[in-house]
A and B are shown apart, each in its own frame.
Chain A
Amino acid sequence: MKIDRRGFLSLGVGAAAGIVVTPLPWKLTDDLSIWTQNWPWTPVPADGEKAYAKSVCSLCPGGCGISVRKVEDRAIKIEGIEGHPVNDGGICILGLSGLQTLYGPTRVKQPLMRSGNRGEGRWQKVDWDTALAEITKRLAEIRKAGQAHTVACVAGSDQGTVPQLLKRFLAAYGSSNFIRTPSIRDSYELAFKTMQGSEASAGFDLFNSDFVLSFGSGVIEGWGSPVYMFRANSELRGKGKIVQIEPRLSNTAAKSDKWVPINPGTEAVLALGLAHEIIKESLYNKEFVEKYAAGFESWEDAKGQKQKGFKDWVLENYWPASVANITGVKPAVIHELAVSFAKASKPVALCGRGQGNTPVSLFESMAIHALNALVGNINQKGGISAVPFADYINWPKAPADAVAEAGLQQPRIDGAQSDPFASRYLLNRVVNAAESGKPYALQALLVWEADPIYTLSGSAAVKAAFDKIPFVVSFSSHMNETAQYADLILPDHFYLERYQDIPTPLGMAVPSISLSRPVVKPQFDTKYTGDVLIQVAKGIGGNLAEAMPWKDYEQCLKETLGDHWDKLNAKGMLIAEQYQPPAWDKAFKTASGKFEFCALTAIGETVSIEGDKESYPLTLIPYDSMRLANGFIGDPPFVIKTVSDRILKKKDIFVEINPETAKQYGLADGKSAVLETPRGSARVRVNVFEGIVPGVIAMPRGLGHKAYDKFLAGKGLNVNEFIGSVEDPVSGLDAAWGIRAKLTIA
């Protein structure tokens, strides 16, 4: 049968008519529309039973309680624990993004051995046995060669079992070179030591203050325990005043009751200018100063020599007019500020710029602390107090063999703790020592929860120093700059995968212990740093094995915490609720048994920064933001997403300058410019901002990463690369608060 055209059409019409009376077209239309709603590449997250796992965040020393929402085995969201003494439900931007790092591509998923050049990013994946054998062999060799003292360790904290294990390991090994990364902690500890004779960290009872005088401290920018300070700041609204002294209108300055713009680096001078007015007006706390302080009035020493007291020293040297000249703060403002500070019932003065990630000179921390002494708000409600270090770690002294004893005889590589005014740890000096090989050449460096290559000022010099160290080991659980520059990475579990004891959160006035508990099981082939130390010690054997008698880190932690273990597992945080800071008659452990003003008059002036005014007419200062993590961990994708396009645009970083400065140098808002400092130069874009002192360039800290993923790496510049380290001659700390710079049209 032949089908002609008409027949074919007829067949087609029939077919069409037939199809219409079947469900096919309607069903297919429906299905196709559903099909377009379910692309296979749009994920459908699996549902299941929900549970909340409680722990403590350790991404910073803030110690916030966290509650992690889980669906079956997956952690899906981090939240703050309501009612927690530190954060009461609140949580910071970085803490909220922890899961992006936990699961994300920046994790170090197994031990890695460098196969290319340093920092090149070429790695050989190895198993733990190989990795442990390597570190054991290298450390055993150094020790055998009588070079035990040439091994150093850099850690983000010196409190808690892991830092203490690192310290203990080094001691048994034969090295005293345990070094904590620098921060405002160093300055406070030193001020307490010299003026109060106490080994303690600083606590602030801001919730009960009524006048907070902040010398650049970013109370709402991550200073102290960030969320705790945020809460204090909210609590203070309407009840007290906050005055922010800072060259730049930071968020803290904008939210304060009064912003006092100041020339950068002159905070100590202003503090003493305020002291001048307080003393002149006789507004200081007579009881405290007369009974519990030494060196306030001039005195005659044993030899009959007249010694100038704090009072006369201040009255002679810090006249408002001359202070105004240096600081740029008008005499009337100085007077008014001094009077309102002294007349407040619970005033407190804070020190440490921005988040306090860099120390200040001892002169500055003491000058500011002297203000607290003048108003007598030390160890009082609403004031500052010296919080004793946690005392739950009571291990017997690490046994030392002959090698260890010889090693411990050697001086510390950084010369820290060498005199009463020298800081306990001086990481900045390690850079010079490694570079010059003096007092001796470093043979190995262990790095735990620190990223010195990124965070120290003068990054190029830090890298050069690392190049001189033959063996660098990082314990980082994610690929930060220092891990990228290491020879061996022995990844620790991430904070959500492990137990860890956390001492008193930074800036809290009552001693406490918190315990991080695993929220999820380790996602990758990682290992407790504590376990690595125990195993290496066993590998080397002898007194090292004796010093580390535990089966593993968890056993060590459990034994160390003793009775606290069960309570901490249940509650997460134990606070010494009965704790009261000692009364004034018992508070000071100095030679005089009093608060010593004289310590301040004995030392020198403020630290000046690198660069000459002729070639570099402007001053570059860094600034901190909650949205830019700048410690041992950088911004996860969520956080970098929130950064303003007036700070980062594509890969360009913006620097802030005053319109007057812009006009002077012919720079326009949004346009490119070349920033040059004695340490380097780079292209930046200009953000003309009314909230900054003329002559100052402000650059955000936390950008310019070279490690991490495509979401963070290569964006903007690392301000630390442009600032050189400047040593405070008294404490030895790197007290650089900026650098001379110039800005020209690109």
Chain B
Amino acid sequence: MDGKGQESGPRGILVLYFFIGFTISVIIGWIIFPKLLYSQKKQPIDFNHALHVESVAEGCESCHFFREDGSFSGIPKLAQCIECHESAMGENPEEAKFVEEYVAKGIEVPWLSYSRQPDCVFFSHAAHIKMAELECKICHGPIGESEHSRIYEENRLTGYSRDIWGKNIAGIKQNSWDRMKMDDCAECHADMGGGRKDACFVCHK
């Protein structure tokens, strides 16, 4: 009898220990780990996409255009910004900062690219936009509607932007633009190609 009573106490404690360990891990895994894994960086200038989209004629391609050789220009260079912002156009302090620190000094803005893929990836914007006629949004989300630049989170181990793995640390996605991992490319490519795999070289270099 005694022995049984003595046993029930430690067993309860053991269960308690189990749950303590379990809980700590869950907290570490879901809350602390993501905070440790990613460093946070601010964009050099708080950029208002919504405002720009309103005032340009050709939507995204007004600034993010295709060059004549078929390559994609990506984030605009200073020279392109200067076409409009040689001097400040409005009252916005961020614009003033941009003109003062970059335009006046002729220094390129060190923008942080949310969707930069690793060097081993060959991504053709032409194939997706010109051939498959996808909308920018499918991969980049409604960034054109944003009024402020998000905090850029960089994976301390890989150096990639958090957007590649996705905001959700579990990797669960709701929208097509929530993740930009190889599996996400493959998912779409499998759908398009009727289940056939593309050659590795199509996306890798």
Contacts and interface: CB of A to CB of B under 8 A. Distances in A.
Touch between chains A and B, by CB atoms below 8 Å: yes
Interface of A: 1, 3, 6-8, 10-19, 21-24, 26-28, 30-32, 34-35, 37-38, 44, 49-50
Contact of B13 (A7, A21, A38): A7
A50 B29 contact: no
B24 interface: yes
29 contacts: A6-B14, A7-B13, A7-B14, A10-B15, A10-B18, A12-B21, A14-B17, A14-B21, A15-B21, A16-B25, A17-B18, A18-B23, A18-B25, A18-B29, A22-B25, A22-B28, A22-B29, A22-B33, A23-B29, A23-B169, A23-B170, A27-B165, A28-B33, A31-B37, A37-B120, A38-B118, A38-B158, A38-B159, A49-B73
A15 to B, nearest CB: 4
Interface string B146-179: 0000000001011110000100011100000000
Nearest to B67: A49
Contact of B29 (A14, A19, A31, A35): A19
A3 B21 CA distance: 13
A13 B69 CA distance: 59
Contacts of A16: 21, 25
Contacts, number: 100
A455 B67 CA distance: 48
Contacts of A6: 10, 14
B149 to A, nearest CB: 22
B155 A31 contact: yes
B26 interface: yes
Given A34-B157, A44-B119, A14 B19 contact: yes
B157 A31 contact: yes
B26 A34 contact: no
A44 B120 CA distance: 9
Contact of B158 (A8, A10, A17, A31): A31
B127 interface: no
A21 B25 CA distance: 9
Contact of A14 (B20, B69, B170, B171): B20
A24 B28 contact: yes
Counting chain A CB atoms within 10 Å of each CB, the highest count among B26, B77, B170 belongs to B26
B30 interface: yes
B24 A15 contact: yes
A27 B26 contact: no
Contacts of B111: none
Given A11-B21, A18-B22, A24-B28, A35 B158 contact: yes
Given A6-B14, A7-B13, A14-B20, A19 B169 contact: no
Nearest to B155: A31
Contact of A10 (B17, B155, B165): B17
Contact of A19 (B15, B28, B165): B28
Contacts of A19: 25, 28-29
Contacts of B30: 22-23
Nearest to B14: A10
Nearest to B19: A14
Interface residues of B, number: 36
B25 A27 contact: no
Contacts of B69: 50
Contacts of B24: 15, 18
Nearest to B164: A34
A547 to B, nearest CB: 41
Given A6-B10, A23-B30, A27-B165, A50 B18 contact: no
A16 B37 CA distance: 20
A282 B82 CA distance: 80
A11 B17 contact: yes
Counting chain B CB atoms within 10 Å of each CB, the highest count among A8, A17, A22, A26 belongs to A22
Interface string B66-100: 01010101000100000000000000000000000
Interface string B95-117: 00000000000000000000000
A3 B17 contact: yes
A507 to B, nearest CB: 36
Contacts of A28: 33, 157
A22 B159 CA distance: 22
A11 B14 CA distance: 8
Nearest to B71: A50
A31 B19 CA distance: 28
B157 A23 contact: no
Contacts of B171: 23, 26-27
B37 A27 contact: yes
A76 B119 CA distance: 17
Contacts of B18: 10-11, 13-14, 17
A32 to B, nearest CB: 7
Given A18-B21, A21-B29, A30-B165, 20 more contacts: A6-B10, A6-B14, A7-B17, A10-B18, A11-B18, A14-B22, A15-B24, A17-B18, A17-B21, A22-B25, A22-B29, A23-B30, A27-B165, A28-B33, A31-B37, A31-B158, A34-B118, A34-B157, A35-B157, A49-B73
